[in-house]
Amino acid sequence: MEEKIVDASRWGQKAVTKTIMPANPELKVARAVAKKAAIIQYGYEELLNHVANRLKQFDILKERDSNFAGRLMNKVSGADTEKVELDGIVLQQLMTLAGEELPIEIKLGSTYKIKHAAIRSMFEKAKSDPDQSEYDRLKGYDWRSE
């Protein structure tokens, strides 16, 4: 099945033809699972492990950025060497545990790119509470209510 899309502008008329394929059912299931996984509430240890892994991945990208071949690889792969990408639920939980004020409304199913220095400082603040009293206080908190 072909669909003809016409884009009319003052510079003339341009016709684009593209083929529309029916959606793959396995792809629909994978998208649904990924969407649900993006709003799963993490426990204290899982949250810290997840953020620590994201920071380790960032450190590898930053180290690779130190030479020409690494910069080329980062450019081709589309890796961002300035910001860390986190899911909304992870960012909201991390900011709350670190005692940071939420500057904007965070959508739980979305992803956010935040400067690595900010994520690292929030991670250190959240990790520095050895008795986890802040997490225990928030245990009954419904993260999806906001």
62-106 pLDDT per residue, tens: 898 888 988 888 888 888 888 888 888 888 888 888 888 888 888
Q: How far apart are CA 99 and CA 125, in angstroms?
A: 8
Beta-carbon contacts of residue 71 (< 8 Å; ≥ 6 apart): 64, 65
H/E element, 17: strand 12-19
pLDDT of residue 54: 92
- Domain annotation covers residue 7: no
Handedness of CA 118, 96, 109, 51 (dihedral sign): positive
- Domain annotation covers residue 26: no
- Domain annotation covers residue 107: yes
* Structural domain of 96: 41-140
pLDDT of residue 87: 87
- Domain annotation covers residue 24: no
pLDDT of residue 55: 92
**Percentage above 90 pLDDT, the chain:** 12
pLDDT of 56 above 90: yes
SS3 124: helix
Q: Which residues pair with 115 in a beta bridge?
A: 83
Q: What is the DSSP letter of 104?
A: S
Q: How far apart are CA 34 and CA 136, in angstroms?
A: 28
- Domain annotation covers residue 10: no
pLDDT of 2 above 60: no
Tens of pLDDT, residue by residue over 3-45, are 444 444 444 444 444 555 556 777 777 777 777 766 677 788 8
How many helices (H) and strands (E) the chain has is answered by 6, 4
Q: How far apart are CA 125 and CA 95, in angstroms?
A: 9
pLDDT of residue 10: 46
H/E element, 8: strand 2-9
- Domain annotation covers residue 15: no
pLDDT of residue 53: 93
Instruction: Report the domain count for the chain.
Output: 1
The chain-wide mean pLDDT, for the chain, equals 76
Bigger pLDDT: 134 or 47? 47
